[in-house]
């Protein structure tokens, strides 16, 4: 869905030290460095990206096209296109995805549910450390 240059811009930020209580709908891109106690849902009618940084805590459902997690999430995660789990990602909840990239160290406590288009197999990629020569 996204080429390297075609990703939507991140236009909104929940800064470290901020706390949101309640559901949030967003368009295009959102980065969370603080705490969110509620659902984070992207507009399904346009491409979206959600970044949960290493310091971030989210307690609620997540729904976006491209989801990058390196913090803590308690709740279901739905990545309509790509889910990237960075080394410090911690998820307590079921995860659905079309494509998954998981780095060593990421932890999921829940079920993995690939979203299949017909008989298509889900794309799984284990992100390995590159060896230096």
For the chain, what are the domain ranges?
10-113
Go through 61-86 and write b for each residue having 16 or more CB atoms within 10 A of its CB, e for each that does not.
bbbbbbbbbbbbbebbbbbbbbbbbb
Length of the chain: 133
Residue 3 has pLDDT above 60, yes or no: no
- Beta-bridged to residue 108, according to DSSP, are 91
Q: Tell me: the pLDDT tens digits for 35-55?
A: 999 999 999 999 999 999 999
- Closest by CA to 74, choosing from 127, 121, 49, 38, is 38
Pseudo-torsion of CA 123, 61, 10, 104, nearest 10°? -50
pLDDT score of 115: 86
Residue 65 has pLDDT above 60, yes or no: yes
Average pLDDT over residues 88-95: 98
pLDDT score of 7: 84
pTM assigned to the model: 0.86
């Amino acid at each position: 869905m996204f080429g390297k240059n075609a990703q939507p811009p991140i236009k909104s930020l929940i800064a470290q030290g901020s706390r949101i209580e309640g559901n949030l709908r967003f368009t295009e891109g959102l980065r969370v460095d603080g705490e969110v106690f509620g659902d984070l849902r992207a507009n399904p009618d346009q491409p979206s990206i959600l970044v949960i940084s290493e310091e971030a805590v989210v307690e609620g459902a997540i729904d976006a096209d491209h989801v990058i997690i390196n913090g803590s999430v308690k709740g279901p995660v739905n990545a309509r296109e790509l889910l990237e789990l960075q080394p410090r990602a911690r998820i307590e909840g079921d995860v659905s995805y079309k494509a998954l990239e998981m780095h060593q160290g990421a932890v999921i406590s829940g079920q993995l549910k690939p979203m299949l288009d017909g008989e298509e197999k889900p794309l799984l990629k284990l992100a390995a450390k590159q060896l230096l020569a």
